[in-house]
Amino acid sequence: MPVERAFAWPVRVYWEDTDAGGVVYHAQYLAFLERARSEWLRARGHGQEALRDAFDLVFAVRAMQIEFLQPARLDDALQVSVTLTQCRYASLRIAQEIRRDGELLLTAQVRIAALSATQFRPKAIPHALLNELRLLPLADPEIKMETDEPIQVAP
């Protein structure tokens, strides 16, 4: 079975996502990217609410770099991808793309902080989740996963 290098989430463009010309409003792309990141975690068995309830953990975007390459339009069917590129004790870096029928519309590099849900201060990612994330394949095998220490996998 081939290894999936990136997670993809489908998004349909509705009127509410567009400006008067039927083109996706630039800020709406942030919502598309957020939904895909949330569903990426959920697909791995770690819903946002469950992480908050069980571990007092939330993920917050710390920084984002976006390149808008082509516009998306009303009724487009988009694929929003998520690929982990770095995993540290209390932060993640994620590469994201938005495509329409294979055409690249947007790229984003996202820095995410792990925070205490009650104090909004940096918090370590739970050990089991951290190890799981560090074992994910990368989109480009030439990129090396940056880690703070060797992965310790429980038997």
Task: Classify residue 83 by its DSSP letter.
Answer: E
- 19 is annotated as an active-site residue: yes
User: Cβ(4)–Cβ(40) under 8 Å?
Assistant: no
pLDDT digits (tens, 9 = 90+) for 85-98: 999 999 999 999 99
Domain spanning 7-134: CATH superfamily: Hotdog Thioesterase (3.10.129.10)
List the catalytic residue out of 19, 56, 140, 148: 19
Q: Which are the contacts of 71, defined by CB distance < 8 A and separation ≥ 6?
A: 23, 24, 105
CA distance 32 to 102: 17
β-bridge mates for residue 60, sequence order: 113
Enclosing H/E stretch for 110: strand 103-116
User: Structure pTM?
Assistant: 0.84
What does the mean pLDDT of the chain come to? 88
